[in-house]
Structure formats: structure tokens, C-alpha cells
Amino acid sequence: SCVHPDRPEPLDLHLGMFLPTLLNQATPEQMERFFTPAWNLRIIGTYAQTEMGHGTHLRGLETTATFDPSTQEFVLHSPTISSIKWWPGGLGKTSNHAIVLAQLHTQGRCHGLHAFIVPIRDMDTHVPLPGVVVGDIGPKFGFSEVDNGFLKLEHVRIPLDNMLMKFAKVEPDGTYVKPPSAKLTYGMVFIRSMIVGQSALALAKSCTIAIRYSAVRHQSELRPGEPEPQILNYQTQQHKLFPVLAAAYAFTFVGQYMKDTYRRISGDIHAGDYSQLPELHALSAGLKAFTTWAANAAIEVCRMSCGGHGYSRSSALPDIYVEFTPTCTYEGENTVMMLQTASRYLVKSYRQASVGQRLQGSVSYLSEAAAQRLRPRPVSGGAAPLSTQDLLSLVHLYQRRAASLVELAAKSIQQELQRGRSQEEAWNHSSIDLVRASDAHCHFVVVKLFVDKLEQVDDAAVKAVLSTLALLYALKGLADNSGDFLQAGLLTVPQATRVSARIKELLEELRPDAVALVDAFDLNDRKLNSVLGRYDGNVYEHLYEWARQSPLNATEVHESFHKYLKPLRSRL
């Protein structure tokens, strides 16, 4: 199709959120009524949660859904300018339905945010329905293919059965029936879990383009009198790109793990077991933030490593960046997600471990750390010996760094409370530490999953090169965050020096396999859509061909000469 497989599209929300939300929150009758026509694109929907005045603070959303028992309807209304739904993808011009998140009012009481299916355009004429004011929010940083829209509802009536009632319900007399767990109506866990894999894909594409281009680009002089070398032979170029390559592999494994974990736990939830929902929320929120922040920065490293041609849209890197960067904001703004993981999971787990509770899942190390704190500390107190070759010891180092930063954040809250601050103020005055703790926890999870994955690799040669990548990923993270490790007494200055030396050795070791490692992502030219990243490496001819196709070159003398330059000359 003319649509590029990876470009944002107006139907992304329909496929990525409207359908999954029906699957997760619709009753069987609602599935029949809505899912089937939505699957056949008769109904095209979006997910309208964010408002002009609120995106993060869900409890602050103002759109109301008031039940009218006399007509068995909900009245959907946007009471203020700030309550206008703002940003939903595909809302402006594409969708004819929206899942609207609104504060449910029935029998004079507010029961918080619930999901309602609201028809917004006539199914045949596509004209907005009565009481519906809808349109596009205007040009954005990118996503120009998507009509992110606004939606103002003026006392729009929908049937009682348009409230998604798999969990919470409203009876015909207006009685509200609580969901088995209030957390089930939050949603977003699915898409956050999927975004981790999107981070991996964005990294794989970017480093494929940059490393292939670095293998065909010759520039400057390494040894006097010799031909210009491939820029991939410069240590600085390797230091830019090989850690990105390692992260692309790491995030690919984490993305797979996140998808499998989502599938497993959502299966349990559908079976009525909600016990793992906190772990799934914390993991998806944290890893979504961790991987998108890392990938966002790495795409720019790849673009800049391609010099001027990286800035050309023929490289595809500007488009990859523009389309990826909003992942740090949507589906949960990253800072807020990191705070969720820390405040709602890590600190809570730390406190449970501190009273001897045995923890499971990704925080089980906090129990080990709590037990460690009760044992007498070794006199030396110094950092343990550091192996720059042993992956398991590096995993343990990341685990101890995470435990140390979670403890630091928990203690900061305690100190703030002892200074007489309120709970909320104590948490806010510790939020930098909380974000650091989440970051360290996620970093440990990524390193651990990478090393765990190696145990599943049978081919010795593949295992060897993946182990080198895992070492580079772990040591580069250690070097980049050496302050944390030094502060926690997990690293000494001589050891930090050894780490830097080892990183240089690993860059040299990876050089011969770098192109093969990006080829292994198997991203064909159509998917990459990049002149610099072409599989055949025939960059210059295709760059010239690409430029020749530029609309500006349709005529030898552009109309601007006659319209502006010539008249300007005559006036000078």
C-alpha cells in the first residue's frame, strides 16, 4: 500500500487503543455490538482521555457522564474550556466513535473515571452529530499524518449500555456497582508494554542506518598518505554507535519479555486473579519510560554520527526521531511513570522487605538487600572485586546499585517527614531520588534480562558476540552512571579506570561484526526507507537520485525567481 509500514497513521489509535480497550473492558454484549463493526472498520474509534487542562492527572479530568434514570441515558458534557478533549489520535477527522473517559455521576454521587463509547460522527455522512464539536488541533512537531483532535461535548446523550461495563456497572435504577479492583479502569498497561518493543525497533533502525553508513563513508586521514578510512574505524564513532547497537539488542529482549509478561498477567486478570497487576503496572510504566528516554537520545546520536547527510530526510533519521520522541510524553509522561514505579512499587516493596517480608518478581532483590543490612558489614567496607568479564557479577552490581538508590529514596522521605513535612511534601521533596531509584531498578532489569537471554542461546559463536554486546551494555551503563556506583561504595576509582579501558577493548572486538549485527535485525530497505542505510551500500548514487526527485527540481528556474528575485532586483 502507499502507506509506509512504520509511519504514524490516523488508524493507530483505532488499532492500538480503541480495539484493545474494548477487548479489556467491554461486556460480551458490547463486544458484539461494537467490536465486530470496529474490526470491519465500520466503526472507527479513538481513545479520548486527555483534556486541554489535564493529561497526567486523571483524577483531575473534568468531562462528566451523568446518568439520567428517566431516559436510561448518560449525558456527556464538557463543562469548561479546559475539559475539552485534546490530543486523541484520529479524533479530528477520522473517527466516528470515541471511547471517552469521564467522571461518572449517578444518584448524586461521583464515582470517578469510567469509559463510555460515544458516537461522534454520522456513520454515513461523517458529519459531527448534534452536541459534538470536533476538529484537528493543528500542526505539531511531527505526526503530520495523524489528525490529533479536540472534542467538545455539549450535553450529548448516549444509552446506558454505552458505558464499558465489564468491571464497573450502573444498574437501570442508577445504582453503581463497584469493579473488583479500582485499578482495572486505568488501562494503558497494554500500550505501555508494547511501546518497550517500539523503543527496540527505533534503536535497531537507527543503528542499522548509522552503522551501515559508517561502513561506506570514508573521511579524513588516519595514517598519512593512506586512503581515507571508513569512519567506522574511528574509536569515537564506535563509542557513539556500538553502545546503541548493544541497547538495541537489550531492548529487543526486554520488549519480548514485556509482551510475554503482559500476556501472562492479563490472562490471570481475565481469570479474576489481580495479584500481579501492581507488578505489571510498575514494570510497564518504568520500562516504557526507561527505554523511550534511552532510545530518544540514541536516535539523535545516530543522526549526528552521519554528519550532514544524517540531517537529510533521505537518511530517515529525522523522521524516526520526530515520530519516536512523543513516546516520552504520551501513554504516561516519563517522569510521572518513573515516579509511579518508585512510589507505588519500589518504596512500598522496600518497606515490606524491611520488616522481613519475602518479595517476589522484579523486586525480590530488595529482600536480599534488607537481609544484608541486618548482617554485620565487613570491616573493609570497600567495593567488592570487579570483574569486567563476568556478566553475572555485573548483574549483581546493578542489583546492588538499585537497592542502594531505593534505600536512599526511602530514607529521604523518612528524613523529610522527620523535618515535619507532610506525607505529600516529603514525597515531592524526594522525587528526584525516586526517579533515580526507578531508573536504576529498570536498568538492573534490562541488564539482567539481557544476561538471562544468553542462557537460551545455543550457537557458540552467536552467544559469544551477544555476550560481548551484553558486556558493552553493562560496562557502558556503569561508566555513564559511575557516580551512583561510587556513591554506593560499589566501585572504586581504579576500578572505574579499568572499566573505561575494557570498553575500548570491546569496541575493537565488535568492529568486525558490527555490520553483520545490524544486518541481523533484517530490516529491509522498504522498512528502513533510508538512502544512507541501504543494504547494498550504494549511497551516493541514490542520494543524488533522491535529491533530483525533490519537488523544487521540477523546473530548472523556480517560479520564485520571476515572482520575487527579479522584481526585487529591479527595485534595488
Ligand X SMILES: Cc1cc2nc3c(=O)[nH]c(=O)nc-3n(C[C@H](O)[C@H](O)[C@H](O)COP(=O)(O)OP(=O)(O)OC[C@H]3O[C@@H](n4cnc5c(N)ncnc54)[C@H](O)[C@@H]3O)c2cc1C
Ligand Y SMILES: CCCCC/C=C\C/C=C\C/C=C\CC/C=C/C(=O)SCCNC(=O)CCNC(=O)[C@H](O)C(C)(C)COP(=O)(O)OP(=O)(O)OC[C@H]1O[C@@H](n2cnc3c(N)ncnc32)[C@H](O)[C@@H]1OP(=O)(O)O
Q: Which helix (H) or strand (E) holds 431?
A: helix 431-454
Which region, judged by CB under 6 A, interacts with ligand Y, from 49-57, 151-159, 161-169, 456-464? 49-57
**Do strands 156-159 and 73-77 pair parallel, antiparallel, or not at all (unpaired)?**
antiparallel
Residue 330 half-sphere exposure, CB side, CA atoms within 13 Å?
22
CA distances from 188 to 87, 140, 193, 528, 542 (A): 16, 23, 9, 28, 42
Q: Which does 16 bind (CB under 5 to 8 A by kind): ligand X, ligand Y, none?
A: ligand Y
Site membership for ligand Y, residue 295 (CB under 6 A): no
Contact 229, 511 (CB under 8 A): no
Q: Which does 335 bind (CB under 5 to 8 A by kind): ligand Y, ligand X, none?
A: ligand X
Question: Whose Cβ is closer to ligand X: residue 46's or residue 529's?
Answer: 46
Rounded (10°) angle between helices 317-324 and 189-216: 160
Q: Which helix (H) or strand (E) holds 229?
A: none
d(CA 292, CA 462): 27
Name 485's Cβ contacts closer than 8 Å, sequence gap at least 6. Answer: 397, 401, 478, 491, 496
Site membership for ligand Y, residue 183 (CB under 6 A): yes
- Please identify which residue in the block is written with the cell numbers 448524586: 108
Q: Which does 421 bind (CB under 5 to 8 A by kind): ligand X, ligand Y, none?
A: none
Question: Whose Cβ is closer to ligand Y: residue 249's or residue 324's?
Answer: 324
- Please identify which residue in the block is written with the cell numbers 516493596: 349
Site membership for ligand Y, residue 149 (CB under 6 A): no
Question: Whose Cβ is closer to ligand Y: residue 52's or residue 532's?
Answer: 52
Site membership for ligand Y, residue 526 (CB under 6 A): no
Site membership for ligand Y, residue 14 (CB under 6 A): no
Q: Which does 148 bind (CB under 5 to 8 A by kind): ligand Y, ligand X, none?
A: ligand X
Query: Which listed residue (9, 62, 73, 331) is catalytic?
Result: 331
Residues that bind ligand X (CB under 6 A): 13, 47-50, 54-56, 87-89, 143, 148, 326, 329-330, 333, 335-336, 339
Count CB atoms within 10 A of the CB of residue 106: 20
Site membership for ligand Y, residue 505 (CB under 6 A): no
| Identified binder of ligand Y from the candidate list 16, 45, 90, 92, rule CB under 6 A | 16
Question: Whose Cβ is closer to ligand Y: residue 265's or residue 517's?
Answer: 265
Could you confirm whether 425 is annotated as catalytic? no
Contact 192, 288 (CB under 8 A): yes
Site membership for ligand Y, residue 401 (CB under 6 A): no
The whole-angstrom distance between residue 105's C-alpha and the CA centroid of its chain comes to 33
Site membership for ligand Y, residue 52 (CB under 6 A): no
Site membership for ligand Y, residue 340 (CB under 6 A): yes
Confirm or deny that 108 is annotated as ligand binding. no
Confirm or deny that 21 is annotated as ligand binding. no
What is residue 443's three-state secondary structure?
A: helix
Please say whether the dihedral angle defined by the alpha carbons of residues 24, 28, 34 and 37, taken in this order, is positive or negative: positive
What is residue 348's three-state secondary structure?
A: helix
- Please identify which residue in the block is written with the cell numbers 483532535: 149
DSSP annotation of 357: P
Binding map of ligand Y across residues 451-490, x = CB under 6 A, - = no contact: ----------------------------------------
Q: How far is the CB of 511 from ligand Y (least distance, A)?
A: 34
Question: What is the number of the residue whose Cβ is closest to ligand Y?
Answer: 16
Summarize the annotated binding site for FAD as residue ranges: 50, 89
Would you tell me which residues interact with ligand Y (CB under 6 A)? 12-13, 15-17, 47, 49-50, 55-59, 89, 183, 186, 188-189, 191, 194, 198, 277-278, 281, 330-332, 336, 340, 344
Binding-site residue numbers are 50, 89
- Which sequence positions are flagged as catalytic? 331
